[in-house]
Structure 1
Amino acid sequence: MRLDYFLAHSAGLTRKEAKQLISRGAVTVEGEAKPKANLQLRPDQAVTVHGERVQPPGHRYLMLHKPVDVVCSTEDPGHRTVLDLLPPELRAQVHPAGRLDRDTTGLVLLTSDGQWSHRLTSPNHACGKRYRVQCADPVSDEDMQALREGVLLRGEDKPTLPAQVERLDEACLLLTIREGRYHQVKRMLAACGNKVLGLHREQIGEIQLDAALAPGEYRALTEDEVESI
Structure 2
Amino acid sequence: MRLDKFLSHHLGISRTLVNKELKASNVTVDDQVIKSGAYQINAQQVIKYQDNIIEQINGKRYFMLHKPQGYVCSTDDPDHPTVLYFLDEPMAEKLHAAGRLDLDTTGLVLLTDDGQWSHRITSPKYHCEKTYLVELEQPLSEDLIEQFTQGIALKGESTLTKPAILEIIDAHHARLTISEGRYHQVKRMFAAVGNHVVALHRQQIGAINLDIAEGEYRPLTQVEVDSL
Structure 1 length-normalised TM: 0.81
Return the alpha-carbon distance in structure 2 between the equivalents of residues 174 and 142 of structure 1.
15
Q: Is the 8 A contact 1:85 1:217 kept in 2?
A: yes
Sequence identity (%):
51
> How far 1:90 moved relative to its partner?
4.7
Q: Distance in 1 between matches of 2:219 and 2:91?
A: 11
Q: How many residues align?
A: 210
Within the alignment, does 1:193 sit opposite 2:178 as a pair?
no
- Aligned equivalents of 1:199 and 1:68: distance in 2? 10
1:19-49 Cα shifts (integer Å, max 9, x gaps): 5984426349xxxx5332xx698xxx74755
CA gap 1:123/1:80 in 2 versus in 1, 3 angstroms: same
Rate the CA distance shift 1:88–1:135 in 2: closer, same or farther, 3 A: same
Residue type of the partner of 1:79?
H
Match of 1:26 among 16, 25, 28: 28
Q: Which amino acid aligns with 2:123?
A: S
Q: Cα 1:2–1:129, aligned 2, differ >3 Å: closer, same or farther?
A: farther
Matched, 1:70 2:66: no
> Partners of 2:105 and 2:187 in 1: how far apart?
10
Distance in 2 of aligned mates of 1:93 and 1:40: 22
Relative to the length of structure 2, the TM-score reads 0.81
In the alignment, the residues of structure 1 paired with residue 2 and residue 82 of structure 2 have an alpha-carbon distance, to the nearest angstrom, of 22
Matched-pair contact (CA < 8 Å) for 1:8–1:89: no
Counterpart position of 1:179: 180
Give the letter aligned to residue 215 of structure 1: E
Deviation at residue 7 of structure 1 after TM alignment: 6.1
Distance 1:64 1:127, change over 3 A: same
Give the AA of the match of 1:62: F
Q: 1:169 to 1:4 in 2, by over 3 A?
A: farther
Deviates more, 1:164-173 or 1:139-148: 139-148
Distance (whole Å) between structure 2 residues aligned to residue 227 and residue 104 of structure 1: 26
Q: CA, structure 1 residues 86+175, in 2 after alignment: closer, same or farther (shift >3 Å)?
A: same
Alignment partner of 1:80: what SS?
A: coil
Superposed displacement of residue 85, structure 1: 1.5
What 5-or-longer segments of structure 2 have no aligned partner?
13-17, 48-54
CA distance in 2: counterparts of 1:115 and 1:82, whole angstroms: 21
Aligned to 1:216: 215
| Structure 1 residue aligned with 2:61 | 60
